[in-house]
């Protein structure tokens, strides 16, 4: 117990870790707020720079950037009507009308406090749920891992923006990229086309830097001439009465954020949109109509996307499955540091888990401090010209890719994935599902083969086990439900039900 | 009439390329171990490659019946270039490729400085002095941050 407590407070007591968390949160707010820079991009590049560091130092900085970045996106959504990231899209619906009404300061202040409330709730859920799920995960059979990964990939594919087919294509493409190289069991080459250089596989941090760094930077060149709209920001700290007024809504939407965040592969953007929809349906008398500057429309997505951060760590730390694109990158960071995210992490390295919990809570405290000050500096940084920023991002991507193996091969891969990502993005394919496919694909492959081997390569017996074990049955049912919800049959049933309910 | 409902120019060709790519991936997956066993090293890749191909075909199928811009080859190529490959993106990409090609030959700091100056001057259409300053500060920050603080090996 005392060990747990000391791990929990490690980041609070060590001046170095304290400073790195503060630095990460501060930088994260600006990275998240600058349109064109994303948290995933920053964390992808950072992972390659910090792999020679002590793991706690690296995690402290990454956690800070994650927390700060998710919040930072709201600032540009409110001030410029340009969401800093996908999780802030819903924030701009009412945030920008509030700014146009001259209430940008109040909106930023309230979104800060609500983000902190959501973030702390997410952290508490992580602390309570992960040990329970971790114990349960030790009882999981390989087929259960296969099922969870399949559910995660189906959810990612189906919830991706645009068509389901594009989402599924992106996920499958990621899984293929993840499987390039030597087969971990038989040492046979897969997708290597006879090239020895490919036997070691493609480093997934390079894929991440290419897709989230280079492709995003190239894509941002389309909006080079977009001018920032300056807003007047005055009083920023919200009154206690105002916070208390929106507290019940923030608690409800935090629960939405937590539930969505804990699903493998689904993160803050879906949580924010669902929370916004919940607020629209349940708040009868908003401060203004939704879409025209309702504070409720700001509170709901902001608490939900921040609550999803903590809970996204739950599947990552207990099952080794990313809760969203950023945690997919963090898995890469943990592996680089010789750790193995999954059920054994809680047994072998409990300090990493409790350190992360303490660090998330600390980052939220720093978020409250930095979020309520430095608004003038913020306005200047957000207005940094993209013409300066984008070439610099490419240089950082180059340095990050090179530093992985001190080799230019990784840099060329990065450029290749950057160009591929640009083309895919141009035609409506999302990058997040590709990264999740890269992580989950090999995991599904190994659990599928273990599951098959355990039944002597008998698929009928495996299917029998999938419905006879209670846990596998739940997971199989969930997978079938997700699959069915994406078929025309589900839409037909919904229409039938609606028609039936309308009839007298 | 809104143009957003129309099939983006170049998308059908891109989707056909994705189908061809998926077929090549399926062939490569088959080469791993064929259909030798249901838990062979190639079994799962074969399944994923099949999903990739089905999804690519579905994406192509979804384009069917959607209105196109109804332009000739020359006009479509012009639109494609305008929408997805505007000149400044092409020039920046070529500049980036050139930068990565000479980075080891010309040394990291010199090539980075030159790349930043050229890219900023081009993207901002002038402002040489501020580009020189921004590039100088950036290179200095990279040296301080990555060489001294992060101890990272630079190209």
Instruction: State how many domains chain A has.
Output: 1
A405 to chain B: closest CA residue: B153
Q: Determine, yes or no, domain membership for A477.
A: no
Two structure tokens written together for A468: 């006879």
Contact residues on chain B for A392, CB-CB shorter than 8 A: 116, 138
CA A253 – CA A241 distance, rounded (Å): 19
Contact residues on chain A for B100, CB-CB shorter than 8 A: 398, 408, 411-412, 415
Q: What is the DSSP letter of A407?
A: -
Q: pTM score, two decimals?
A: 0.81
A193 to chain B: closest CA residue: B28
- A339 SS3 class: coil
User: Which residue is listed with tokens 């390039």?
Assistant: A180
Contact residues on chain B for A454, CB-CB shorter than 8 A: none
pLDDT value of position B2:
40
Is there a contact between A274 and A304 (Cβ–Cβ < 8 Å)? Answer: yes
A453 to chain B: closest CA residue: B39
Burial of A350 (0-12, 13-18, 19+ CB in 10 A): middle
Q: Determine, yes or no, domain membership for A291.
A: yes
Two structure tokens written together for A286: 């908003």
Distance from CA of B14 to the nearest CA of A (A): 8
Domain that holds residue A317: 2-454
For A189, list phi and psi in degrees, rounded to 5: -75, 140
Least Cα distance to A447 among A320, A347, A317, A302 occurs for A320
pLDDT value of position A228:
54
Is there a contact between A220 and A386 (Cβ–Cβ < 8 Å)? Answer: yes
Strand partners, A182: A189
Q: Report CB contact under 8 Å: B154, A222.
A: no
Is there a contact between A440 and A265 (Cβ–Cβ < 8 Å)? Answer: yes
pLDDT value of position A495:
67
Give every residue of chain A whose pLDDT is below 70, as ranges.
Answer: 1, 35-36, 159-162, 225-234, 376, 379-383, 488-491, 493-504
Distance from CA of B154 to the nearest CA of A (A): 6
Instruction: Please list the helix, strand and coil fractions of chain A in percent, rounded to the nearest 5, in that order.
Output: 75, 0, 20
Selecting from A172, A388, A457 the residue whose C-beta is nearest the C-beta of B48 gives A172
Contact residues on chain A for B138, CB-CB shorter than 8 A: 392, 395
CA A360 – CA A66 distance, rounded (Å): 9
Residue B152 CA from chain centroid, whole number: 26
Distance from CA of A120 to the nearest CA of B (A): 30
Alpha helix positions (H), A81-141: 89-100, 104-137
Is there a contact between A443 and A184 (Cβ–Cβ < 8 Å)? Answer: no
User: Which residue is listed with tokens 């189908």?
Assistant: B19
Distance from CA of A463 to the nearest CA of B (A): 14
Selecting from A165, A392, A445 the residue whose C-beta is nearest the C-beta of B62 gives A165
CA A448 – CA B11 distance, rounded (Å): 35
Two structure tokens written together for B13: 């060709």
Q: Determine, yes or no, domain membership for A57.
A: yes
Least Cα distance to B52 among B14, B34, B25, B92 occurs for B25
Burial of A402 (0-12, 13-18, 19+ CB in 10 A): buried
Q: Report CB contact under 8 Å: B48, A168.
A: no
Task: Report strand pairing: A189-190 vs A181-182.
Answer: antiparallel
Taking CA atoms, B39 is separated from A144, A416, A459, A476, B90, in Å, by 17, 32, 10, 20, 45
CA–CA–CA angle B125, B130, B132 (5° rounding): 100
CA A301 – CA A114 distance, rounded (Å): 9
Least Cα distance to A343 among A65, A139, A486, A122 occurs for A139
Q: Determine, yes or no, domain membership for A219.
A: yes
Contact residues on chain B for A158, CB-CB shorter than 8 A: none
Best of B55, B116, B118, B141 to mutate (most A CBs within 10 Å, chain A):
B55
Contact residues on chain B for A180, CB-CB shorter than 8 A: none
For A483, list phi and psi in degrees, rounded to 5: -65, -45
Contact residues on chain A for B151, CB-CB shorter than 8 A: 52
Q: From first to last of its 155 residues, what are the pLDDT tens digits of chain B?
A: 344 467 788 888 899 999 999 999 999 999 998 878 888 899 999 999 999 999 999 999 988 877 777 777 777 778 888 888 889 999 999 999 999 999 988 889 999 999 999 999 999 888 899 999 999 999 998 888 777 776 777 88
Burial of B87 (0-12, 13-18, 19+ CB in 10 A): exposed
Is there a contact between B129 and A382 (Cβ–Cβ < 8 Å)? Answer: no
Q: Report CB contact under 8 Å: A388, B93.
A: no
Q: Report CB contact under 8 Å: B56, A218.
A: no
CA–CA–CA angle A376, A378, A383 (5° rounding): 105
pLDDT value of position B1:
37
CA B91 – CA B97 distance, rounded (Å): 10
A182 to chain B: closest CA residue: B41
Sequence-distant (6+) residues with CB within 8 A of A81 are: A92, A96, A99, A229
Distance from CA of B138 to the nearest CA of A (A): 8
Q: Report CB contact under 8 Å: B32, A426.
A: no
Burial of A208 (0-12, 13-18, 19+ CB in 10 A): buried
Two structure tokens written together for A116: 């902190």
Q: Report CB contact under 8 Å: B48, A453.
A: no
Contact residues on chain A for B41, CB-CB shorter than 8 A: 183, 185-186, 188, 190
Q: Determine, yes or no, domain membership for A252.
A: yes
Neighbours of A292 (CB within 10 A): 15
Q: Report CB contact under 8 Å: A441, B48.
A: yes
Selecting from A169, A218, A399 the residue whose C-beta is nearest the C-beta of B59 gives A169
pLDDT value of position B143:
86
A422 to chain B: closest CA residue: B84
Q: Determine, yes or no, domain membership for A472.
A: no
Ramachandran class of B36: left when φ > 0, alpha when ψ lies in -120 to 50, beta otherwise: alpha
H helices, E strands: number in chain A? 24, 2
Neighbours of A162 (CB within 10 A): 14
Q: Report CB contact under 8 Å: B28, A415.
A: no
Q: What is the 3-state secondary structure (H, E, C) of chain B?
A: CCCCCCCCCCHHHHHHHHHHHHHHHHHHHHHHHCCCCCCCCCHHHHHHHHHHHHHHHHHHHHCCCCCCCCCCHHHHHHHHHHHCCCHHHHHHHHHHHHHHHHCCCCCHHHHHHHHHHHHHHHHHCCCHHHHHHHHHHHHHHHHHHHHHHCCCCCC
Distance from CA of B112 to the nearest CA of A (A): 7
């Amino acid at each position: 117990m005392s060990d747990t407590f000391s791990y929990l407070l490690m980041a609070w007591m060590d001046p170095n870790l304290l400073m790195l968390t503060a630095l990460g949160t501060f930088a994260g707010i600006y990275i998240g707020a600058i349109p064109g820079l994303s948290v995933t991009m920053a964390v992808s590049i950072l992972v390659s720079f910090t792999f020679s560091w002590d793991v706690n130092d690296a995690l402290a900085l990454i956690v800070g950037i994650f927390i700060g970045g998710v919040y930072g996106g709201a600032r540009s959504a409110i001030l410029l009507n340009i969401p800093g990231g996908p999780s802030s899209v819903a924030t701009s619906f009412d945030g920008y009308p509030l700014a146009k009404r001259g209430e940008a300061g109040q909106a930023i202040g309230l979104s800060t406090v609500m983000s902190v409330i959501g973030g702390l709730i997410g952290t508490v859920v992580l602390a309570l749920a992960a040990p329970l799920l971790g114990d349960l995960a030790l009882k999981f059979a390989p087929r259960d891992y296969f099922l969870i990964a399949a559910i995660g990939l189906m959810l990612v594919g189906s919830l991706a923006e645009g068509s389901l087919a594009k989402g599924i294509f992106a996920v499958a493409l990621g899984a293929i990229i993840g499987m390039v190289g030597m087969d971990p069991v038989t040492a046979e080459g897969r997708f290597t086309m006879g090239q020895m250089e490919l036997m070691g596989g493609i480093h997934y941090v390079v894929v991440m830097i290419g897709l989230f760094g280079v492709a995003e930077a190239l894509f941002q060149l389309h909006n080079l001439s977009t001018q920032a709209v300056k807003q007047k920001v005055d009083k920023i700290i919200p009154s206690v009465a105002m916070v208390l007024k929106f507290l019940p809504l923030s608690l409800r939407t935090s629960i939405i954020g937590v539930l969505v965040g804990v699903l493998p592969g689904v993160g803050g953007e879906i949580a924010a949109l669902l929370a916004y929809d919940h607020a629209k349906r349940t708040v009868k008398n908003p401060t203004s109509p939704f879409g025209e500057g309702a504070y409720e429309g700001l509170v709901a997505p902001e608490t939900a996307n921040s609550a999803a951060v903590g809970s996204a760590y739950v599947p990552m730390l207990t099952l080794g499955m990313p809760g969203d694109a950023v945690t997919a990158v963090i898995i890469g960071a943990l592996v680089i540091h010789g750790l193995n995210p999954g059920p054994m992490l809680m047994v072998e390295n409990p300090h990493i888990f409790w350190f992360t919990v303490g660090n998330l809570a600390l980052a939220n405290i720093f978020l409250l401090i930095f979020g309520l000050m430095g608004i003038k500096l913020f306005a200047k940084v957000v207005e940094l010209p993209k013409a300066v920023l984008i070439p610099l991002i490419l240089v950082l991507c180059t340095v990050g890719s090179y530093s992985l193996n001190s080799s230019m091969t990784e840099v060329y891969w990065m450029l290749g994935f950057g160009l591929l990502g640009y083309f895919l993005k141009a035609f409506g394919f999302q990058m997040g599902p590709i990264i999740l496919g890269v992580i989950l694909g090999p995991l599904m492959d190994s659990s599928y083969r273990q599951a098959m081997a355990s039944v002597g390569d008998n698929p009928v017996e495996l299917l029998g086990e999938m419905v006879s074990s209670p846990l596998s049955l739940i997971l199989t049912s969930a997978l079938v439900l997700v699959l069915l919800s994406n078929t025309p049959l589900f839409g037909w049933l919904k229409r039938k039900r609606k028609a039936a309910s309308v009839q007298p | 009439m809104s143009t957003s409902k129309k099939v983006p120019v170049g998308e059908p060709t891109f989707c056909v390329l994705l189908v061809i790519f998926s077929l090549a991936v399926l062939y490569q997956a088959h080469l791993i171990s064929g259909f030798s066993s249901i838990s062979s090293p190639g079994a799962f890749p074969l399944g994923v490659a099949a999903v990739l191909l089905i999804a690519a075909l579905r994406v192509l199928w979804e384009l069917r019946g959607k209105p196109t811009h109804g332009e000739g080859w020359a006009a479509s190529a012009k639109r494609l270039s305008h929408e997805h490959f505007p000149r400044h993106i092409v020039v920046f990409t070529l500049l980036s490729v050139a930068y990565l090609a000479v980075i080891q030959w010309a040394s990291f700091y010199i090539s980075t400085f030159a790349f930043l100056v050229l890219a900023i001057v081009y993207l901002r259409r002038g402002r040489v002095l501020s580009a020189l300053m921004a590039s100088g500060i950036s290179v200095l920050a990279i040296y301080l941050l990555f060489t001294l603080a992060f101890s990272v090996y630079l190209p």
